[in-house]
Chain A
Amino acid sequence: DTGVSQNPRHKITKRGQNVTFRCDPISEHNRLYWYRQTLGQGPEFLTYFQNEAQLEKSRLLSDRFSAERPKGSFSTLEIQRTEQGDSAMYLCASSFGGPRGNQPQHFGDGTRLSIL
């Protein structure tokens, strides 16, 4: 069990640029989640995949954000035209389970995004 892997660990970019993050979940997990965490706050849900299907999106996920999980394995989160307010830690989590989210989610180390 190699755990959830995220890269890059840190990303610094200028406002207006596009960024893409990658998440590799625990291999046998069929569910994958993206969260955003700002300083002093708990993680906030962004979106969730069951296998390759994106089943739920938060209203926090503006049209500048897009997530994919093309083959039901790794996932990418892209932010277009980044803004200062996008600066945060982006966390990926995975779990194994049926239609209800009763299984613990296992988190990666996160990608810290800083917008200059």
Chain B
Amino acid sequence: AQKVTQAQTEISVVEKEDVTLDCVYETRDTTYYLFWYKQPPSGELVFLIRRNSFDEQNEISGRYSWNFQKSTSSFNFTITASQVVDSAVYFCALSEWTGNQFYFGTGTSLTVIP
């Protein structure tokens, strides 16, 4: 079973629009960690944020914000006032307390149109 689901395959927005990328996860562990990565066209995965399962506080970093809701097993990512440089594939990932590997979703390809 897929542990991380990113149902949105591709999203296009016009520059300066807000966009939310959805991530739903599945785990039996009570302690786990969630991550978001950005993969620009150059290919290198860039770490954006880590969230612990016991910390449900939402986080804002500049134009980026993350909404973690354990009740719905979701960890959504919002980009405010999108820019062309935000165009990339974004991956959500899960790391469980009982293991060492990361489980990645299939990614959401975001295109920001100028």
Q: Which residues of A contact B (CB under 8 A)?
A: 31, 33, 40-45, 48, 55-56, 58, 89, 91, 93, 100-110
Please tell me if the beta carbons of B95 and A102 are within 8 angstroms of each other in the complex: yes
Known: A43-B102, A45-B103, A110-B43. 19 other contacts (CB 8 A): A31-B100, A33-B102, A42-B4, A42-B104, A42-B105, A43-B45, A43-B91, A45-B101, A45-B102, A48-B100, A89-B43, A100-B97, A101-B95, A101-B99, A101-B101, A102-B52, A102-B95, A107-B45, A110-B44
Query: Between A and B, how many residue pairs show CB distances below 8 Å?
Result: 61
Please tell me if the beta carbons of B100 and A56 are within 8 angstroms of each other in the complex: yes
A109 to B43, CA, bound (A): 6
- B93 / chain A contacts, CB cutoff of 8 Å: 42
18 residue pairs of the A-B complex, CB under 8 angstroms, read A33-B102, A41-B107, A42-B105, A42-B106, A43-B45, A43-B91, A43-B102, A45-B103, A48-B100, A56-B101, A58-B101, A100-B100, A101-B95, A103-B50, A104-B35, A105-B47, A107-B44, A108-B44
